[in-house]
Amino acid sequence: MLQSSILDFPNRGKWGQSSYRGNCSGHVIKGLLEHFKPTKFLEVFAGGGTGKDVCKELGIKNSVHLDLNTGWNALTDSIPFGNDFTFSHPAYWDIISYNQVNSRSHPDDLSNNMSYEEFISKLNTVNSKIYQALVNGGRHAFLIGDVRKKGKYYSIIKDMAWIGDLEIHLIKTQHQTVSGRKTYNGTFIPIAHEHLLIFQKNQVWQVPVKLTKTSEFDLRVFENMTWRDLIQGALEYLGGESDLNSIYEVISESKKVQKNQHWKEKVRQTLQIHANFHSIDRGKWKLNIA
């Protein structure tokens, strides 16, 4: 049973194919089924057969298990209607290529080499289909991990669409990962967790959808930025030291400057009164990092 928001299963259990890479722990599926007691269970991305084995052990006969391995395409094929609980555990982008695992290639495999934006778009398509196929009051339990690729961190749950009402957010610890078997130097911290989000369908037609939008803003457009932070940013931009004229030029288009007629005097005053800045010559300043 699920007893807290932290799930920790050191072993994956006896269910399914243990050799199937990325296979979900059967303890997760078993805990969900025992907790929510669905009348009709649907598993999407059934993979190595873990969910099917769990249902067999629990005596759950009204269950359906779908996967590309068995000829079902999550992007193009319809999802059986009438289930009140769906569990899905999709590929974590292209971190594990299931084309290589299964010795077959399919253009709609979510683990194919594709851009992150394309992956999120396809994942949103599948999740929307899952939501539509739920009966009103039904739930979608979605298990996914974060990804680090070429030094950049990707939070899939942050970037995907949240479809339905979020009922529960569980954190699952990961065991026996490739990164967990290595020793790292420096500041690198390996990912050792996954997210289990449980969304509920509470309305037939009205669908609550949350989207994350990433935008870039120039900090100089914010009027509440302090003079010290504005000048510090200019000096950092200029390599740590600069003459006054270059500082003036960098910040000249900022909102703070445009609202102050005597802004150059304010810049000189700020440089003189804050320990962040050090005069190295007449009209030339350096940023103190320490």
* pLDDT score, position 142: 97
Question: CB-based contacts of 171: which residues, under 8 Å, 6+ apart?
Answer: 5, 6, 7, 193, 194, 195, 196
Instruction: Look at residue 163 and give its three-state secondary structure.
Output: strand
pLDDT in tens, 88-103: 999 989 777 665 555 5
pLDDT in tens, 192-203: 999 999 999 999
CA 168 vs. chain centroid, Å, equals 16
178 confidence band (pLDDT: 50, 70, 90): low
**Where are the alpha helices (H) located in the chain, listed in sequence order?**
26-36, 50-58, 98-101, 116-133, 156-159, 227-237, 244-251, 255-258, 263-273
Instruction: Measure the CA–CA gap between 91 and 47, rounded to whole angstroms.
Output: 10
Q: Is the pLDDT of residue 180 over 90?
A: no
Instruction: Measure the CA–CA gap between 251 and 266, rounded to whole angstroms.
Output: 12
pLDDT in tens, 276-290: 999 999 999 999 876
Which among 14, 5, 44 is positioned nearest to 193, based on CA atoms?
Answer: 5
* pLDDT score, position 121: 95
Q: Is the pLDDT of residue 176 over 90?
A: no
Which two structure tokens, joined as six digits, stand for 190? 């390996």
CA dihedral of 242, 247, 248, 249, whole degrees rounded to 10: 100
Of 54-58, 197-201, 211-215, 245-249, the poorest mean pLDDT is in 211-215
What share of the chain has pLDDT > 90, as a percent?
68
Of 16-30, 189-203, 230-244, the poorest mean pLDDT is in 16-30
Compute the average pLDDT of residues 264-272: 96
Question: CB-based contacts of 151: which residues, under 8 Å, 6+ apart?
Answer: none
* pLDDT score, position 177: 64
164 confidence band (pLDDT: 50, 70, 90): very high
Compute the average pLDDT of residues 136-164: 95
* pLDDT score, position 99: 58
* pLDDT score, position 100: 53
Q: Is the pLDDT of residue 37 over 90?
A: yes
CA dihedral of 98, 104, 105, 109, whole degrees rounded to 10: -40
- Mean pLDDT for the chain? 90
* pLDDT score, position 202: 96
φ, ψ of residue 155 to 5 degrees: the values are -105, 100
> CA distances (Å), 56 to each of 36, 64, 70, 221, 226, in order?
17, 12, 18, 60, 64
Which two structure tokens, joined as six digits, stand for 90? 């999709």
* 28 touches 88 (CB < 8 A): no
Of 16-30, 138-152, 196-210, the poorest mean pLDDT is in 16-30
* pLDDT score, position 118: 95
* pLDDT score, position 258: 92
Residue 21, sorted as left (phi over 0), alpha (psi -120 to 50) or beta, turns out to be beta
Compute the average pLDDT of residues 246-268: 94
274 confidence band (pLDDT: 50, 70, 90): very high
Compute the average pLDDT of residues 169-188: 78
> CA distances (Å), 5 to each of 173, 195, 199, 262, in order?
11, 10, 15, 56
Tokens 């790292």 correspond to what residue? Answer: 184
Q: Domains plus CATH for the chain?
A: 6-210 (3.40.50.150), 219-287 (1.10.10.10)
